Amino acid sequence: MIQKVIKSDEEWRQILTPEQYRVTRTKGTERPFSGEYCEVHDPGLYACVCCDTDLFESTNKFESGTGWPSFTAPIDPERIRLEEDFTYGMHRVEVLCNVCDAHLGHVFNDGPPPTGMRYCLNSVALVLKRAADQE
């Protein structure tokens, strides 16, 4: 069962950088090819920057050429939530952290096998827990 993390807007502003807050709490997007993890391939786990929930494994990360870190699947589908997004005159599927409701990015069905999915996420919404740091 998911234990929700609930904080006030002011609490989020105190623990996040302005860019992290803009992306995760107001559904922003970082510029393509500008994110810290766009071209990183270190082994480890990608966690939500807001609540530290492990969301994606580095083994599921791939180069999508889009300018954002992309993954084929989450660690556990229960850790994320998908919602329809009709902003900017488009129909997309938003990816949110199911623990703290942080906006992470969007998911598309044009990814590689075996899932065919591309979870296209903002680096600023993630923190990489490198495997070397965990040893």
Residues 57-85 have pLDDT tens digits of 999 999 999 999 999 999 999 999 999 99
Structure tokens at 119: 């979870």
User: CATH code at 58?
Assistant: 2.170.150.20
Residue 93 burial by Cβ neighbours in a 10 Å radius (0-12, 13-18, 19+)? middle
Full residue range of the structural domain in which residue 67 is found: 33-134
Q: What is the pLDDT of residue 96?
A: 98
Pick the range with the lowest mean pLDDT from 28-32, 86-90, 95-99: 86-90
Catalytic residues: 120
Residue 44 lies in a domain: yes
Give φ, ψ of 85 to 5 degrees: -130, 120
CA 101, 20, 16, 78 torsion-angle sign: positive
The C-alpha atoms of residue 21 and residue 17 are separated, in whole angstroms, by 6
Q: What is the pLDDT of residue 134?
A: 64
What total of structural domains would you count in the chain? 1
Q: What is the pLDDT of residue 5?
A: 93
Q: Could you tell me the pTM of the whole model?
A: 0.93
Residue 25 lies in a domain: no
